[in-house]
Structure 1
Amino acid sequence: MRINPDFRKVAILAANEAGKALKKNFRKKINISYKKDLTPLTSVDLMSDKIITGLIKKNFPFHGILSEESGENFGKEFTWIVDPLDGTTNYILGLPLFAVSLALIKGKEPILSAIFNPITEELYLAEKGRGAYLNGRKIRVNRMNNLSRVILHFDRGTDLEGGLKMINKIAPRIRTVRFHGSPDSDICPVASGKIEGFLNSKAHYHDVIAGAFIVKEAGGRV
């Protein structure tokens, strides 16, 4: 599938510019409030969201945007799924496990995604039919077939009880399960072959769509 190269350019630009803002304000005093579900919202979330959505609107005024922070506006053909700061709690605590996440869908099908951690300076990128890349280097999932050596990352999603049941079932059979609190940061190492899998129980669409697409383009199963 041939994709407009401007889509890729804007995705990379938006991820990098938002990432710069996150890095500049990391471990500094920021304003924090809480949503109805008690998840935190910071001034930096909103700043990152403004940067990303501004660049998308400037370059693609007829595209829709679904953002965790600024709401939903589906386009007729193309819609961007944006998480301006995945791992907000980690960011507040000064833990460098967070990322900027963007995915572009055509209809209901993802065709492009970018995930950027500005602290490690790791940019994951995938395009439909063209594979997945980490800082320009093509990546693939690993083919570990020894279950006792498998490492999994886990995120509770919206169903803690269901997630814990999954963990209790599989944890005794594998090497280890790790929890980091940033779904995109946890999914990307699967795509680059550093770990073998990611588990999530009833995830929000915007929390995993970008990472899941990168894993799929890296040869993984989703």
Structure 2
Amino acid sequence: MINNDMSVRLAKASHIAAQAAELALAYFNRRDEIQVSSKKVQDFVSQADVAVEQFIRAQLAEHFPQDGIIGEELGGTLTGAACWVIDPIDGTSNFLRGSPLWGVSLGLVEDKKPVIGVVSLPVLNEQFAAESGKGIFRNGQTFTRDSRFGDVQIVSLGDSSDDKLDEAAAFYQGLRAADWSVQCYRCTTIGMVFAAKGITDGHLQRRTTLWDIAGGAVLCQEAGLETVVSFGSENIRDLSVAAGTASLMTTVRTLWDLKPRS
């Protein structure tokens, strides 16, 4: 359901993501039949990823022909102009193993800043949508982050096959030493949605990609979390993200320099 308080652009993006989620869920329910290949160690792509991205691209080209498009599977180039960023199935490993913790992510980036985000979680039957400065919606209804039980300190930590393991281990140890319980969902989208919902205090990922965070970053921002997105030297394939409550971010800053990387 689309809320009349949404902008036309956000409403259309939500509709496209919902349709893509239905397609992705159909593949999930017959995933033993689909073709799978590996891009690199523990980084998989399936027939479903490609089909869902192709569907979203076609819809975006029809409704927003003036905008650029970048997708995880079919590429694209980021400029300062408006550009839609697609992760057709974030959490492909979870998807293939039958976990419900995966999602379809669609974000609009302008001048390297995510300004619209839509994330659909098909198995969980939830969609979250947000636009900078205009709040957040859950399944078409205005949504407020659950901030109860803040003394129960939980953070999700993203990982990457490109992580430097000694640095990753030190960061994890620092969080645990500061009395934070740490979750790892193997899906950046899930980590950011759970932070925006209030299931966790935030999501931290020192190495990620633009398609992993373009949708979720806006959700976290509009849920009231401090959200820091930094581009690295490899542009769309080398970002970091930290989104969290004030308490979490105070701890994070003792362990991690959040200034944009050169």
- Give the aligned partner of residue 159 of structure 2: 156
Match of 1:103 in 2: 107
- Determine the structure 2 residue equivalent to 1:213: 218
The Cα offsets for residues 63-82 of structure 1, whole Å up to 9 and x where unpaired, read as: 10111011114466310011
Contact 1:80 1:105 in 2 (8 A): yes
* RMSD after superposition: 2.1
| SS in structure 1 of the partner of residue 200 of structure 2 | coil
Q: Which amino acid aligns with 2:107?
A: A
Q: Is the 8 A contact 2:80 2:112 kept in 1?
A: no
* Aligned match of 1:7: 9
Partner residue in 2 for 1:17: 19
Task: Give how far 1:118 is off.
Answer: 0.6
CA distance in 1, matches of 2:150, 2:93: 34
How far apart, in 1, do the equivalents of 2:80 and 2:109 lie? 11
Hey, what does 1:63 align to over in structure 2?
67
Within the alignment, does 1:82 sit opposite 2:86 as a pair? yes
Taking only the aligned residue pairs, the percentage that are identical comes to 25
CA deviation digits over 1:71-115, x for unaligned, max 9? 114466310011000000011111111000011122222221100
Moved segments of 4+, more than 6 Å: none
SS where residue 201 of structure 1 aligns? Answer: strand
CA pair 121-190 structure 1, distance change in 2 beyond 3 A: same
Q: TM-score, normalised by structure 1?
A: 0.90
Flag structure 1 segments of 5+ consecutive residues without an equivalent.
none
Counterpart for residue 50 of structure 1:
54
TM-score, scaled relative to structure 2: 0.77
* Aligned position for 2:36: 32
Question: Is residue 112–residue 126 contact of structure 1 (8 Å, CA) maintained in 2?
Answer: yes
Deviations 1:124-176 (A, max 9, x none): 11111111222223223637653xx2011111133152322211111133352
Q: How many residues align?
A: 218
User: Cα deviation per residue 1:20-50 (whole Å; 9 max; x = unaligned)?
Assistant: 0111121422100112556211000011101
5+ residue gaps, structure 2, are: 228-262
* Equivalent residues in 2 for 1:193-208, closer than 5 Å: 193-208=198-213
